[in-house]
Structure 1
Amino acid sequence: MKKPPVLIIAAVQLLLVSLVGAVMHLSGKPVTALSVLIGGALNALPSAYFGRRAFRDSGARAAHRVVGNFYRAETGKFILTIAGFAGVFASVKPLNAAALFISYGLCVIVQWILVARMVR
């Protein structure tokens, strides 16, 4: 069974937020640009961790390990996301919270779309 292209999806997400961040920075909004980049990274990096961790094993003989990997991967993704948001809000000043959350949410949507296209 072919492993899912989780790192490709994360790379596409990071590329998109980098492009949007560059446009925002060049239009004179550096705080918004940084917030967009951080929001995208807060989605892409934990998702990449999840994909690498969850899909390490495959096959019928590894079924028990696969299930365990999924639980550990989802827990790790959740912890990384929460710690990432906490760290950003504690240390990044100034920050455009709206741009951060919008970027995060749009990256979630991009992830869903890319996964749906690749599954077909």
Structure 2
Amino acid sequence: MFAAYLAADVEGMSSVFKGALVALLPHAFFIQRMGFFHAKRRTRGAMHLFRAEAGKFGLTVALFVAVFVAAPPSNPALFFYAYVAVVLTHWLTPWLMPRDRTTN
């Protein structure tokens, strides 16, 4: 966000913030839907995975439409850079984690 502020001032930060939210909110929905933080609600079935992923995709599409219709970003390039950066961070995290980690 600091680089966006230096490059495009407050409008750039607004675009980065919107792009990050469009990426983070569907991920949070998926995590909540799958119950990763609650051992009692943790689902392991493939059908739950498909439903959570379909909801995540639908929420992503709805957020893109809402952002570009209701509050278009002032700098679309920064919006998409932030979106892609957040999505790639979630994809690359498993590769960056140590291999000798123990899980419960």
The interval holding the TM-score normalised by the smaller chain is 0.7 to 0.9
Quick one: structure 1 residues 57 and 92, their matched pair in 2 at CA, closer, same or farther if it must change by over 3 Å?
same
Instruction: Tell me the alpha carbon deviations over residues 44-74 of structure 1, each in whole angstroms, 9 at most, x when there is no partner.
Output: 110111122124434xxxx5xx211101101
Q: Which residue of 2 aligns with 1:57?
A: 42
Q: Which residue of 2 aligns with 1:80?
A: 59
For this pair of structures, how many residues does the alignment match? Answer: 94
Quick one: structure 1 residues 89 and 30, their matched pair in 2 at CA, closer, same or farther if it must change by over 3 Å?
same
Q: Which runs of 5+ in 2 are unaligned?
A: 36-40, 100-104
SS of the residue corresponding to residue 55 of structure 2 reads helix
Q: Which residue of 2 aligns with 1:5?
A: none
- Partners in 2 of 1:113 and 1:67 — Cα distance? 23
- Partners in 2 of 1:28 and 1:96 — Cα distance? 8
CA RMSD in angstroms comes to 2.2
Aligned pairs for 1:12-51 (under 5 A) are 20=1, 24-25=4-5, 29-51=9-31
Displacement over 2 Å in runs of 4+: 22-28, 54-58, 115-120
Determine whether 1:97 maps to 2:82: no
> Which residue identity lines up with residue 54 of structure 1 in the other structure?
M
- Partners in 2 of 1:113 and 1:30 — Cα distance? 29
Q: Which runs of 5+ in 1 are unaligned?
A: 1-19
- Compare the two structures and name the one with the higher helix fraction: 1
Larger relative contact order, structure 1 or 2 (CA cutoff 8 Å, min sep 6) = 2
Q: Which residue of 2 aligns with 1:13?
A: none
Q: Which residue of 2 aligns with 1:113?
A: 92
> Which residue identity lines up with residue 72 of structure 1 in the other structure?
R
- 2:73 and 2:79 in contact (8 A); partners too: no
TM-score normalised by L of structure 1 = 0.66
- Partners in 1 of 2:8 and 2:24 — Cα distance? 25
